[in-house]
Amino acid sequence: MRYLCIILIFFFFASASFAILIDGYCYLEGASDHSGSTVKFLEITPSAVTDSTETLSSGYFSIDIIPGIYDVVYSRDSYLPVQIDYLMLLADTTMPPITLLFGMPLSGVLSGTLGPGGFIIFDDISVNFGDTLRLVPGTAFRFAGLYSFEIEGTLLAQGTPQDSIIFTTLPLLNPDYWKNIRFNGVGSSGCSLAYCDIQYGSHPNLGGGGIQCIGASPTITNCTFQDNTARFGGGIGIEWDSSPTISHCTFFGNTAELGGAIYCGDGASPTIAHCVIRDNSADFGGGIYCGENSSPMITRCTIVGDSASFGGGVSCRHASPVLNSTIIAFTEGTGLYFYQDCSSSQIEYCDIFGNIGGEISYYNQDSSQGPPGIGNISTTNANGDPCDSYFNIFLNPVFADTAERDYHLALGSPCIDAGDPDLPLDPDTTVADIGAFYFDQLDVGGIALLPPVSYVLHPNWPNPFNSTTTIRYDVKQTAHVSVKVFNLLGQEEATLDQGRIPAGSYTVSWDADGLPSGVYLCRMKAGDFVQTRKMVLLK
């Protein structure tokens, strides 16, 4: 029937010499300037004539063509093309609007180097045993469905503070989630991820909404895990003798049955250090679940605002975790929950405070399930504060701004110098503080007592933020300094500081209320020195 239509149209328009007007809009995902896309009309019937046009900044295009049947192709470099086949154009026509998705299609077995730029994943992807895949800063993997990324070889995903590597879903194609990154076996133990954002991963029946480790030990640093979900470990599920290193990472909005942010089981022994674990939820272990002969080392972390029926912060069952110099505060549930056979757990130099269900609870109220005497005030620590025999304190940690989720320690916090004295000294050469962030005792009142040795624009905190964030910068000698915020179009949004500034360390705040969610750039200039950092506003 299709070919009959083509023949009839051919005879009807064979002698046609008039033209018809075709117009419409072609938008570029995430762009404000939609110019430069090509709209090509490819002839199908002999009466048709191949022709093309380009879009204006508004995305609008128009073209006069000879009537006929065409394939219409919308394309632009770095965007996924769209093709409409066998379109019958016999009279003036306004085409339905089209949006080109940022990224190129990707599927199957991967190796070599990818990026920068966007890639759209249309099927499961993998790195085979013995192969290596490198992702460069500024690379984005967006999954168009419930597809997984299985690593049996080596994945090196090394972003930077300015250009992270993103793993996320593709909402314009309506998937709620993709699957996860699965490190499978010893062949993937040499993997490393740095400055990666892992969002909207899901493994509803198993472990690891964002990342799953099965007998693997990757190194994961400075990564963000946001809004992932799984049965075990909304952010990360760690199983089968895996021993990954997870440091300076942020987990928020992740959900699971066991371990809203992190699940440890089946002999897992990860190292989890300097992480912020906030606002995650689970049935057991809103922040971290330690189970099945696991022995995680959890050091210098801040676990705050998480929720669970049992163990808003940390829940343990048949496990022997080590918690050292860690804050567990303001969770919805008890701070620590010992279910069964956790008496060999080591909980030392921690601050446990303000948890809605109490600081520590036990299965069947049997305190023998936890370390003997934990929570019983019996002595004082080096600061003179009351503590138990493990030097755990139960005092308000005094965060900089809990309402704005700024969990730096404020002046007067009992966590300052209250950490394990056997840990390395803080950068200000004082005893380790409790929590993910140390309080700089050389920087009181905004100006350092000792001058900095270089110009530095420090990462803002919190990041992502809503809607206020704090920026710190160092000036090594008196100079004309400017600290400004720009959007991704290069338009200035705010001047945070400007003028001739003496040597020292300074802190400024930026209130982005009234601006849309997105990525903004903070730029510091001091003489020939220029440094830019990326800030993410999430409302």
On whether residue 199 sits in a domain, the answer given is: no
| pLDDT value of residue 17 | 60
- Percent of the chain past pLDDT 70, that is, above it, reads 95
On whether residue 85 sits in a domain, the answer given is: yes
On whether residue 284 sits in a domain, the answer given is: no
Q: Which long-range contacts (CB under 8 A, 24 or more apart) does 441-450 make?
A: 441/416, 443/505, 444/411, 446/505, 446/506, 446/507, 447/504, 447/505, 447/506, 448/474, 448/504, 448/505
DSSP secondary structure string for all residues of 151-189: ESSEEEEE--SSS-EEEEE-GGG--S-B--EEEESGGGT
| Per-residue pLDDT band at 339 (split at 50, 70, 90) | very high
Which ranges of 313-453 would DSSP assign to H, the alpha helix? none
| pLDDT value of residue 278 | 97
pLDDT of residue 254 exceeding 80, the answer is yes
Mean pLDDT, the chain, whole residue set = 91
| pLDDT value of residue 202 | 95
pLDDT of residue 286 exceeding 90, the answer is yes
On whether residue 487 sits in a domain, the answer given is: yes
pLDDT of residue 445 exceeding 60, the answer is no
Q: Domain ends where: 69, 100, 131?
A: 100
Q: What is the pLDDT of residues 293-307, one digit of tens each?
A: 999 999 999 999 999
Q: Which of 167-176, 265-274, 406-415, 468-477 has the highest mean pLDDT?
A: 265-274
CA distance 330 to 261: 16
Q: What is the pLDDT of residues 359-401, one digit of tens each?
A: 999 999 999 999 999 999 999 998 899 999 999 999 999 998 9
On whether residue 459 sits in a domain, the answer given is: yes
Cβ 152 vs Cβ 179: under 8 Å: no
Q: Domain ends where: 79, 100, 121?
A: 100
Cβ 520 vs Cβ 487: under 8 Å: yes
User: What CATH number does residue 96 fall under?
Assistant: 2.60.40.4130
On whether residue 18 sits in a domain, the answer given is: yes
Query: Of the candidates 461, 352, 361, which has an alpha carbon nearest to the alpha carbon of residue 405?
Result: 461
User: What CATH number does residue 501 fall under?
Assistant: 2.60.40.1930
pLDDT of residue 447 exceeding 50, the answer is no
In this prediction the pTM is 0.75
CA distance 181 to 243: 16
Q: What is the pLDDT of residues 453-467, one digit of tens each?
A: 788 898 887 788 888
| Per-residue pLDDT band at 441 (split at 50, 70, 90) | confident
| pLDDT value of residue 30 | 79
Which of 169-183, 303-317, 338-352 bottoms out in mean pLDDT, i.e. has the lowest?
Answer: 169-183
On whether residue 216 sits in a domain, the answer given is: no
CA distance 296 to 342: 13
On whether residue 173 sits in a domain, the answer given is: no
Q: What is the pLDDT of residues 411-437, one digit of tens each?
A: 889 999 999 999 999 888 889 999 999
Number of domains observed in the structure of the chain: 2
CA distance 539 to 521: 17
Order the strands of the 492-501 sheet from edge to edge: 492-501, 479-486, 518-526, 529-537
- What mean pLDDT do residues 4-27 have? 68
Q: Domain ends where: 56, 74, 100?
A: 100
**Domain range for 469:** 444-537
| pLDDT value of residue 446 | 45
Number of neighbouring beta carbons within 10 Å of residue 537? 20
| pLDDT value of residue 11 | 47
Q: What is the pLDDT of residues 153-207, one digit of tens each?
A: 999 999 998 899 999 998 767 678 999 999 998 877 789 999 999 999 998 888 8
